[in-house]
Amino acid sequence: MEARDHAAVVAQLSPDVVLYSPILGRGRFEGRAAVSLLFSVLLEEYEDWHCLAELRGPGHHVLVTQTRVHGAHIELVDVLRHDSEGQVCEVRVMARPLSGVGTLTAVLGPALAQRRSRWRGAVMRAVTAPLPPLLRAGEWLGGRLSMPQEAR
């Protein structure tokens, strides 16, 4: 990802990889083609991507990363599970802050939907566009109303 090498990223995926995204709720990306499409859009939209920490265990690999999408700072934790061949067969992505996830949703949702059809992209844009400003306002207001003065 840091090298922005889509082919190298996809080469690490098993054919039946499953990716659980923080923007899909119960949905998921299934299969190398679907996850490859997602990564192609991510590589287009990520302004930068840095790995902050990496943890390894038997059959698992955890990446703690940060990126920016349309100026929004996003911190991610990717839990990767490997199959017996060493390929990634499962990816679980957690992200914060909520305003960053909102921006990610407002960017990725329409970009992915647009690849299926123009009207799907337009509908996704209309539905997700309010998320980033609303969530930024909610974080700002929530911090002022719920945190003690000395903690802000």
Biggest CA-to-CA distance, the chain: 53
CA atoms within 13 A on the CB side of 14: 17
CA distance 56 to 90: 15
pLDDT tens-place string over residues 89-122: 999 999 999 999 999 999 999 999 998 899 999 9
Quote the mean pLDDT of the chain.
93
Q: What is the pLDDT of residue 64?
A: 98
Q: pLDDT tens across 15-24, in order?
A: 999 999 998 8
pTM greater than the 0.85 cutoff: yes
Give the chain's end-to-end CA distance (angstroms, integer): 34
pLDDT the model gives residue 149: 74
Task: State what percent of residues in the chain have pLDDT above 70.
Answer: 99
Both tokens of 89, joined, read: 């067969």
